[in-house]
Amino acid sequence: MHKRLSLALLCSALLSVLVSCGTSSTSVHSIPANGSAPVTVTVTDDPPSGVSVLFFQVSLTGATLSPAAGTGSTSTVSLLENPVQIDVTQLQALSAFLANENVPAGTYSSLSLTFANPQLVIFNSSDTALGSSCAVGSICTLTPAIGNSATIDFTSAPFPLAVTDSTPLGLLVDFHLNTIIQPDLSVNLGAANGISVSQVPGAAAGQVPPFGFVTGTFVSLNASANQFTMQTAWGKTLTVDVNSNTQLVDWPPCVSPGGLYCLTAGDAVQVQVAAVESDGSLLAASVKWLLVKNAQSVLGTVVGFGAGQIKLLVHASSIAAAGTAPPQGSIATVTLDSGAAFAVDANGFTIPSGLIFSSTENLTWGQELQVEVDPGSVSCVVSNVIPGPPPSCTFSTNSVQLEPSQISGTIASISSPSFTVDYLWSPCAPPGGAPVCNVVALVQYGVETTSQTTYEGFNPDNFLGLADNDLVSVNGWLFEADNGLLDTKVPGPPEILAADIRLRTGGTF
């Protein structure tokens, strides 16, 4: 799982949005002071061999630029207002926007990043128990020590870095988990080639914008300027511009004039950032409506199912009152209401007719699901044993949506418009709805492409650029391959419909 944290000076973004409809305000553009430019932060991912890392989270508590000697300034510039929690395991094929700050024009010699509170959820596929509470074949939570200084300084290329007045600039920070996670499961953020920094490139036509996604709550609308404000989970207020090219996805219906007026303050939205503009606002490639105000949903990975229940490894929980949300990294047992609806969250992508997600018969391990939470149904128990079982939660639902998953592996064979990927896979059998994981096996995923699939890093950037033995990360929808027999046997490899395919360079994830 190669995770990439992208810090973009006025360029990159991952946003969480709650939108307020029908509320008008004065312009919310923040014009940078003369001689400055905005700075943004984005994140993406690479997995360690020998350990099945299901979840890796770390807090970014500081990000500062230091001016070069002789430039007339001695003050460092902070790129973060508040600490940000980064779920690195969700960034194999995507990037996440973290920060956007104005930086005085000038030359900067280095970037310093400070991290804290790493958390791992692993499948113990070894032949040895970890401590007294993480048996072989079980899913466990670890809070590893940081085996070196929590502050990492970057001084080589792209530094020294010139920031030009009112010119957007972005930095991309790559996590290589197979390097920073040590054999004793400590975290060495300063390991050679463990974290790298590069400048965010521009996106070519047809490619995914490099600045990433951000989720949050809608705050207010400025209709005359075609913009709105949103607030992220870490307290950052962002200004988002829309134009004629911005796609509105899964939009709620409302009367004329429609559009952004359909949003209500407190709604949850997700923004894909197309660009950072010279005044620091974000231009949206798309705005996706997630939830009505005060509703709650959980995003998680399937690790077990059966008997009217689904077990999810929780990655995120949206819009919940304090203390009622399943924590990130927990295992949630989700009970399906009678008649619970199943659907594919296609995000404007055309799903071929032969790929179906309409009932529990279409579940498989590794699928990413967005599950709506029945009000008042959440209950959690925390063991506080480390290493030991993750927090255990329960809730019920009437709505299950299939979201894109991310896998990484080596291309084994190609037959247009499909190819296969060798993938290190931990099969988990679901008797009684509990994940019972046994061995780690090398299996092949079938990858289907369409004319809507985007490619990054290939030559050319289309299907013809694929080659045997390429290391790739795929973002797309996982579909089971056993025609409803998953509740009675360990399944064969699923099939993934690829929305985005990224070439992993350097020979590792």
Q: Residue 275 sits in a domain of what CATH number? A: 2.40.50.320
Average the pLDDT over 308-324 and give the result.
Answer: 80
Number of domains composing the chain: 3
Say if residue 229 is in the same domain as residue 332. no
Q: Is the separation of the CB atoms in 5 and 174 below 8 Å?
A: yes
Same domain, 343 and 268: no
Please indicate, yes or no, whether residues 169 and 234 belong to a single structural domain of this protein: no
Are 447 and 398 within one domain? Answer: yes
User: How many residues in the chain?
Assistant: 509
Query: Residue 505 sits in which domain range?
Result: 294-509
Find how far residue 448's CA is from the centre of its chain.
22
Residues 266 and 304 in one domain: no
Are both 337 and 462 inside the same structural domain? yes
Average pLDDT of the segment spanning 492-509: 75
CB distance 260 to 288 below 8 Å: no
Whether 348 and 300 map to the same domain: the answer is: yes
Contact status, residue 29 vs residue 158, Cβ threshold 8 Å: no
Residues 367 and 492 placed together within one structural domain of the fold: yes
- Domain presence at residue 84: yes
Residue 433 reports pLDDT greater than 60? no
Q: Residue 230: its pLDDT value, please?
A: 93
pLDDT at 452: 95
Q: Among 25-39, 115-129, 148-162, 317-331, where is mean pLDDT lowest?
A: 25-39
At residue 210, the pLDDT reads 64
pLDDT of residue 32: 30
Does the residue 20 lie in any domain? no
Angle at 311 between CA 309 and CA 312, to 5 degrees: 135
Say yes or no to pLDDT of 417 above 90: yes
Q: What is the pLDDT of residues 449-478, one digit of tens each?
A: 999 999 988 999 999 999 999 989 899 999
**pLDDT(149) > 50:** yes
Q: Is 332 contained in some domain?
A: yes
Residues 249 and 133 in one domain: no
* Confidence at residue 492, expressed as pLDDT on a 0 to 100 scale: 54
Q: What is the mean pLDDT of the chain?
A: 77
Q: What is the CATH number of the domain that holds 422?
A: 2.40.50.140
Nearest to 193 by CA among 204, 206, 178: 178
- pLDDT exceeding 70 applies to what percent of the chain? 78
Return the half-sphere exposure (C-beta side, CA atoms, 13 A cut-off) of residue 280: 22
pLDDT of 436 > 50? The answer is: no
Q: Using CA atoms, how far apart are residues 432 and 307, in angstroms rounded to an integer?
A: 7
pLDDT for position 202:
58
For residues 324 and 455, membership in a common domain is answered with yes
- Determine the Cα–Cα distance for residues 328 and 291; give it in Å rounded to an integer: 19
Does residue 205 form part of some domain? no
Predicted pLDDT at 3: 42
Q: What is the pLDDT of residue 377?
A: 93
Q: What is the CA radius of gyration of the chain?
A: 22
Which of 199, 231, 247 terminates a domain? The answer is 199
Same domain, 242 and 336: no
Q: How many CB atoms are closer than 10 A to CB 483?
A: 9
Q: Does 210 map to a domain?
A: no
Q: 301: burial class by Cβ within 10 Å (0-12, 13-18, 19+)?
A: buried
Q: What digits encode the pLDDT tens for the residues 360-374?
A: 989 988 899 999 999
Q: What is the pTM of this model?
A: 0.77
Final residue of a structural domain among 142, 172, 199: 199
pLDDT of residue 168: 76
Residues 6+ apart with CB under 8 A from 451: none
Average pLDDT over residues 298-327: 84
Residues whose CB is less than 8 angstroms from the CB of residue 37 and which lie 6 or more positions away in sequence, other chains included: 9, 10, 102, 103, 105, 163, 164, 165, 166, 167, 168, 169, 278
For residues 251 and 365, membership in a common domain is answered with: no
The stretch 96-110 carries a mean pLDDT of 83
- Residue 93 has a pLDDT of 63
Using CA atoms, how far apart are residues 145 and 72, in angstroms rounded to an integer? 39
